[in-house]
Structure 1
Amino acid sequence: MAAPRAVTRLLPRAGGRPRAWYQQPLRPGGPGRGSILGPAGGWSQQEALGLLEAAVLYRAGPLVAISKPPGLAVTGSPGQLSLVSLLPDLSQRLSLPPELHVVKAAGKDGSGLVLLSGCPGTTQQLHAFFTQLQRAGRPPATYRAVTAGVPAAAEGEIRTGLKLEQVGDLQLVVPVAAPSRRSVERKEVKQTLTRYKVLGMAPGCGLVQLQPMTAFPGQLLVHLTLLLCPALGDHVYSARVGTVLGEPFLLPVGSALPRTQVLGEQLLRRLCLTQQLLHRLPLHLHLHQLLLPTAVLTAPPPPFFLQTLRLLGLPGGQSAS
C-alpha cells in the first residue's frame, strides 16, 4: 500500500466558478468584525447544489470528496432538502456515475468532509479499510471542536454505552454507563469510544481534537457533554451540562431536554453575541481529516470557526490548515 499523501484541493478552479461556501467572507457583524452566526433561513435546492459543486476537494476514479456546510442534513424525509436528495443532480453536474452514494459524512449540524462513491465495490473496500484502521488502533477520521469549557485532562478517551431513546417527539442519544451484556448483544446499546486531545485553551473554552473509534449518531456531542465541555452551537445535548458557582456538573438526562445553548457572560462578550441571538450560533464541530488508502483528505475549517478561534484567543485562527 502506498504511503498516504495529504490532499486539500485537487481540482482547478474554472473561470467564473463561484467560490466555495468556506471561502466566502463572513457577513458584517460589527465594526471590523465578521458575524459567526448562521443564516436566518435555509437554502433552496439550486443554492445548495451550487454550494456543494463549488466545494469539491478531491476526485479520483469513482470517488469524490466535498466539504459540507453546517445545517445540511445528509439524509431526510421525502421532499426534504438533504445531501442524499441532491446526489442525482450533483452527480450529473460533476459527470459522475448516477448511483452516487455516501461513504462517510459530517453530521447534519456539523461541517466538513463528505466522501462519495459511484462504485459499490470501492465503497466496500473503503469500509473494510476503515475497519482495519480501527482494529489497529488508528482512527480514520479526525474532528475539531470549539468547546464551552475545557476537559480536565489534556488528552484521554471517553468510553460509554450509547442508546437511542424516544423522548416526546425527539429521538435522543442517551449514555449508558454500565450496559448489560444482553442489551449489547441485542444491539439496544452500543459500546462507544472516542479519543480526544486538547489542542489549545483560553479562559472558559478550548479547541479539542476528537477521533471516534466507533460510529454512533450524536456520539461526539454526547461524549463532549460527558467531559463537561459541550461544543459551541450544540443546541441538543449541551443542556445536560449545568453550572453551580462556575463549576460544571452533569444533569440527569430526563431533566435536560434540548434547548438553545446557554453561555456565560464572559464567553458571550468575547464572541460579541447576546443570548437572544445564540439560537443562530452554528455547531462548531468540523470533520477535518479522513484517511484513505493512498491519500489524507483535509477540509478547511469554515470562516465562522476560524473567526471564533480568533475571538476567543484559541490557536489556529490565522490559517485554514
Structure 2
Amino acid sequence: MYPLLFRVVLSRMDPESAHHAAMTVIRILGLPAFAWAARAIAKPDRSLETTALGLTFPSPFGVAAGFDKDVKGAQGLWALGFGHVEVGTLTAIPQDGNPRPRLFRLIPDRAVVNRMGFNNRGADAAAARLRPLRARDNRAVIGVNIGKSRVVDVADATADYVRSASLLAPLADYLVVNVSSPNTPGLRGLQAVETLRPLLDAVRAAAGATPLLVKIAPDLADDEVQGIARLAVDAGLAGIIATNTTISRAGLRTDPAVIDAAGEGGLSGAPLKARALEVLALVRAVVPPEFCVISAGGVETAADVQERMDAGATLVQGYTAFLYRGPLWARQINRGLKRSR
C-alpha cells in the first residue's frame, strides 16, 4: 500500500511539504487516544531490549535527529515502534534555516539531499514541549541533539552550545553535540581536535549527569575519525554517533541533472551505507567495549541493523528510509530483528 502511495502521491509532492503532512499524522498518533493502539501494533518484542547509556531501550533501532526537529512528533514516533527518538537539531537561538527549496529526493538512489540549516524554534521552545512530555510519560527514550546557532560566530560557539545544553540536558535521556552538519557555515571546522576538546569539556560540564555524545561526519579522514573517537573517550563522553550526512556525490545513479539541480547540502540514505560501516569499524577499533557507538547512515532493513550490531554498534539509527518505506518501517525492522535472534 505505502509504495503505491509514495509513487503516485508523495513522490509528486514537494518533499518538505510531504514531511510536514507526515508529521501531522505522527503527532495525531502520539495523542493518548491513539498512541496505545499504534504502540500495540508496533511495540518491539521484549527480546530486543538493549541496555546502553544507563538506559533500557526497547529496541536497538531508533530514529535519527532531523526528523523531529522541534519535539512535535516524539510520542508518535515512539508509538510507531522506534526504540528511541532523537529530536533536533536544536539551537539556542530560533532560526528559520536556509531558503526553500532545501530538501530533495534522489529516488533511484533511495537518498535525500538536504540543506535545511537547523531550522527550529529554539532551545527554549523545545524545553517547553519536553517538560509536559516528561511529566506525562517517561517511557519514551528521547535524545536531544544540539547545534550552533547560525548567527553566532564560530569563535563564540562554546557559549552557544552551553546555553542549549543547560536548558535541555535536564529533560533529555542523552544529549548530542552536533558538529558535523554541512549546512551551517563553519560548523564542521569544530571537529578539529584542538577546537573540539574545549567545546566538549564545557558542554559536558553543563550537561551534568546526562550522558553526552558527539556526532561526526563521514567525510573525515580515517585518522581524524579515530582521533575524535579517542578524544571522546578521554573527555569522558558516553558515546559517539557515526555518522551524519555526506557532502560526497560519488557513485550515484540518479540523473546528474537532478543531482546538480539539488545543489549543495548533506546526502543521506542508501549511498552512505559503505562509508558508515567503515567509520563504525574505525571507531570501534579504538574505543572501549562499554563505550556507546550509535551507527547511522544507509540503514534500510533489519539485516542492515543486524550488520551494524555485529560490527560493534551499540544502537542504530535511521531516517531517510522512513520516507521510502513508510510508517510501518520501525515495526518491519523490529520484526526482522526478532526473527534473526
Structure with the bigger percentage of strand = 1
Larger radius of gyration: 1
TM-score by length of 2: 0.29
TM-score by length of 1: 0.30
